[in-house]
């Protein structure tokens, strides 16, 4: 049962990623693109967790955590750059 | 693993996938930036949180390894989602991003 | 407690210790190392931290957290309904919310709660920390929204911080 649920979920997340990329390309503003990137990295975390269950290994959990941390910092840095024109003042 | 646990994990997975997709649909089709902000901050966060919980339950149930990193990821996502939304909203207000015509009230920029 | 070698931020030390255990696993050596890190890191970074948040009644945070978790689930259902209802156009609004909380930590928690709960994202705080600008995605009555947030969340946070 879990195998089927896993495949369905991976398909759903893949569809979500496609929609995010659509927003990333379409824009229209820079903030929209940053928001799309933010959603993309969260979906990437979901994909990594699903891959972990699929392969029955825990090797990739740390990378998911790293993506969570780095993605958040990246979003904040980009938002700050858009607001101030520089990241570190 | 008993059937009940398997069923629970499957339901959590599907719920997570559906909510992540709803967040993405919201991002793709809502009319302006500020309304689009709502989809990813709520739906996507709870979707991925649910998948993390499913992953935790799967590994705890399958080979009884209680690694808490999934829960750490979940807590971290729930803590950071409102902060990045807040930062993006501030940046949007500074850049004077357009709002839809029927928005009441004004964003301010200080 | 000695100012130079004590615990300048007990909550920070507590959080560090538990995050360390979640990351590294709970064997005896890691517990000792975690305790050491939880003691040393706040001491080393003491100069970078603002004032210690004054949480008066920490035990009241527990029912608050449970309520917020419940509301987060409701929130995603609301967003789902809004996103999937193709016919109706949402009625977004910017609402100015007058704050009664004064503690910065309390305001942060309220803003985060607002962002995670149904239909609202907190956008900005005014410079004098008196007004919170909220963007609501689908709301017809501003006053009702303000009263709702005040009754549901701010009263509970006021009890924790004052």
Distance between C79 CA and the closest CA of chain B, angstroms: 7
Does residue C1 belong to any structural domain of this protein?
no
Residue with the larger pLDDT of the pair C83 and C20: C20
In a domain, C131, yes or no: yes
B4 interfacial to chain A (CB closer than 8 Å) = no
**Of A7 and C158, which is predicted with more confidence?**
A7
Structural domain count of chain C: 2
Instruction: Mutate one of A4, A5, A40 to test the B interface: name it (highest B CB count within 10 A).
Output: A5
Mean of pLDDT over chain A: 88
What was the pLDDT predicted at A12? Answer: 92
Same domain, C27 and C76: no
**3-state secondary structure (DSSP) of residue B86:** helix
Residue C40 lies in a domain: yes
**Does one domain contain both C83 and C40?**
no
- A42-57 b/e with 16+ CB inside 10 Å = b? bbbbbbbbbebbeeee
Residues with Cβ < 8 Å from C7, sequence gap 6 or more? C1, C13, C39, C42
Task: Report the alpha-carbon distance of residue B44 to residue B20 in Å, rounded.
Answer: 4
Indicate if C82 and C142 belong to the same structural domain: yes
Q: Give the model's pLDDT for residue C1.
A: 45
- What's the average model confidence in pLDDT over A60-65? 88
Give the domain extent around C43.
10-48
pLDDT of residue A17: 93
Residues C72 and C43 occupy one common structural domain: no
Instruction: Identify whether C76 is part of a domain.
Output: yes
B82–C23: do the CB atoms touch at under 8 Å? no
In a domain, C126, yes or no: yes
Contacts of B86 in chain C (CB under 8 A): 111, 115, 121-124
Burial of A37: CB neighbours in 10 Å, binned 0-12, 13-18, 19+: middle
B100 close to C (CB below 8 A): yes
Rounded Cα distance, C56 and B44, in Å: 34
| Phi, psi values for residue C49, rounded to 5° | -90, 140
Distance from CA of B3 to the nearest CA of C (A): 25
Taking CB atoms and an 8 Å limit, are B93 and C94 in contact across chains? Answer: no
Is C146 in contact with C94 (CB distance < 8 Å)? no
Mean pLDDT for the stretch of residues B50-79: 84
- Give me the pLDDT at residue C4, please: 62
Residue B53: name the closest of B20, B13, B14, B18 by CA: B13
Instruction: Clarify whether residues C73 and C129 are in a common domain.
Output: yes
C121 in Cβ contact with C78 (< 8 Å):
no
Confidence of residue A10 (pLDDT cuts 50, 70, 90): very high
pLDDT at C107: 84
**Residue A70 falls inside a structural domain:** yes
Interchain pair B35, C89: CB under 8 A: no
Average pLDDT over chain B reads: 84
SS3 A11: helix
Domain count within chain A? 1
Same domain, C25 and C68: no
The domain of A72 spans: 2-84
Q: Residue C116's closest CA among A31, A68, B49?
A: B49
For chain B, first and last CA: distance in Å? 57
Is residue C91 situated within a structural domain? yes
**C75 plus C153 within the same structural domain:** yes
Can you give the pLDDT at residue C139? 77
Whole-number pLDDT of residue C5? 66
pLDDT tens readout for residues C98-152: 888 777 788 888 888 888 877 788 878 877 778 888 888 777 777 888 888 888 8
pLDDT surpasses 70 at A89 = no
The answer as to whether A89 is a domain residue is no
């Amino acid at each position: 049962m879990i195998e089927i649920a896993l495949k369905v979920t991976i398909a759903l997340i893949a569809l979500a990623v496609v929609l995010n990329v659509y927003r990333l390309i379409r824009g229209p503003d820079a903030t929209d693109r940053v928001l799309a990137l933010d959603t993309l990295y969260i979906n990437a975390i979901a994909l990594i967790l699903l891959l972990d269950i699929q392969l029955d290994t825990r090797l990739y959990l740390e990378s998911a955590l790293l993506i969570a941390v780095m993605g958040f910092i990246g979003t904040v840095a980009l938002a700050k750059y858009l607001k101030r024109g520089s990241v570190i003042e | 693993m008993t059937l009940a646990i398997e069923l629970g994990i499957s339901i959590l997975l599907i719920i997570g996938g559906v909510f992540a997709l709803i967040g993405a649909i919201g991002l793709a089709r809502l009319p302006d930036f500020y309304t689009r902000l709502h989809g990813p901050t709520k739906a996507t966060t709870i979707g991925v949180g649910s998948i993390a919980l499913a992953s935790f339950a799967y590994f705890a149930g399958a080979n009884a390894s209680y690694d808490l990193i999934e829960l750490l990821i979940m807590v971290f996502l729930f803590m950071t989602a409102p902060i990045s939304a807040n930062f993006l909203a501030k940046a949007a207000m500074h850049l004077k991003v357009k709002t839809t015509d029927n928005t009441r009230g004004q964003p301010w920029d200080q | 407690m000695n100012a130079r070698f004590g615990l300048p931020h007990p909550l920070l030390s507590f959080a560090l210790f538990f995050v360390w255990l979640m990351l590294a696993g709970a064997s005896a050596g890691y517990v000792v190392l975690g305790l050491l890190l939880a003691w040393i890191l706040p001491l080393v970074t003491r100069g970078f931290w603002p004032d210690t948040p004054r949480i008066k009644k920490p035990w009241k945070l527990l029912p608050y957290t449970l309520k917020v978790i419940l509301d987060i689930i409701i929130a995603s259902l609301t967003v789902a309904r809004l996103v999937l209802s193709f016919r109706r156009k949402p009625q977004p609004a910017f609402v100015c919310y007058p704050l009664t909380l004064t503690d910065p930590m309390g305001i942060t928690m309220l803003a985060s709660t607002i962002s995670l709960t149904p239909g609202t994202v907190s956008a900005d705080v005014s410079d004098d920390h008196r007004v919170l600008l909220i963007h609501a995605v689908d709301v017809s009555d501003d006053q009702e929204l303000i009263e709702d947030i005040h009754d549901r969340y701010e009263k509970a946070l006021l009890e924790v911080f004052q």
